[in-house]
Amino acid sequence: MKAIFFGHSHLGPILHAWEDAALRPKLNYSASFAFVNEGVKWLTPPATIVDGECIPNAAVMNLMQNHGAFTPGKRSIVFALGGNEHTILALLTQGTHLNFVMPGESVDVEADETIVPFEAVRQAILQRSEVSMALTTLVKGLSPHPTLCIESPPPPQSNKWLTENLDKYFVAKMTKADLMVARPSVRRKMWQVRSMLWENYCNDVGMPFVKVPDRLMENGFLKPEYLGNATHANPSFGAEMMKEVETALASLTGH
């Protein structure tokens, strides 16, 4: 079976692990990688939503067609669209620290924090996930192949490490405004909300959601040995997630 990995930048660690003979685990599937940015001109969205209908960018659909997503054969599609919807909200903060209380949790906030409603956070991340979810639904519906979705990596715990490894995009933002890195516990909760929304979505459309295994985390954060930069994991993480995909595909297809 061939697994078609379809997504944004979080496919990077998996691709690098696949290309590294020392890291690539022995798997019962081959792989190809369909990066959204390969099929879409810069600043052109992969899809738009008009009156509730997903209108995909033709280049994205051609990209998937070229990988065999819509033709018969022994294939599966592994979705990894988005993944940083929570990061845009949670990585940096301006002037004041924000916090929110997860359902069922006790209030645990600092004196200098401003509390925002959980529902406001949930809706903000859901809104940023809308196009990726709609495109996933569209491709899933058009494909004859089994599909699954993988969870994005949890955040790093250390604010010091994160600050030293910020993407250029966020470095530029910090330079232009009075921004500071959000507290670890808030960043972790934002990631948890994003994962909850995607897991619920996958349940609704009947698709397995492959979660990051506990062995790769510590206190709900990504272990240091799996960190890539402030918002992405490294190829060692990618190799571990390829194993998780293999297990999920075996359960899904019986092979």
Q: Where are the domains of the chain?
A: 2-253
* pLDDT tens-digit map of 180-214: 778 899 999 999 999 999 999 999 999 999 999 99
Residues 27/249, Cβ–Cβ less than 8 Å: no
Query: Among candidates 64, 81, 75, which has minimal Cα distance to 209?
Result: 81
Question: In the numeric block, which tokens belong to residue 234?
Answer: 């490294």
* pLDDT tens-digit map of 217-235: 999 999 999 999 988 999 9
pTM for this predicted structure: 0.92
Pick the CATH number of 2-253 from 3.10.20.30, 3.40.50.1110, 3.60.9.10, 3.90.1150.10: 3.40.50.1110
- What number of other Cβ atoms are within 10 A of residue 23's Cβ? 17
* DSSP letter, residue 227: B
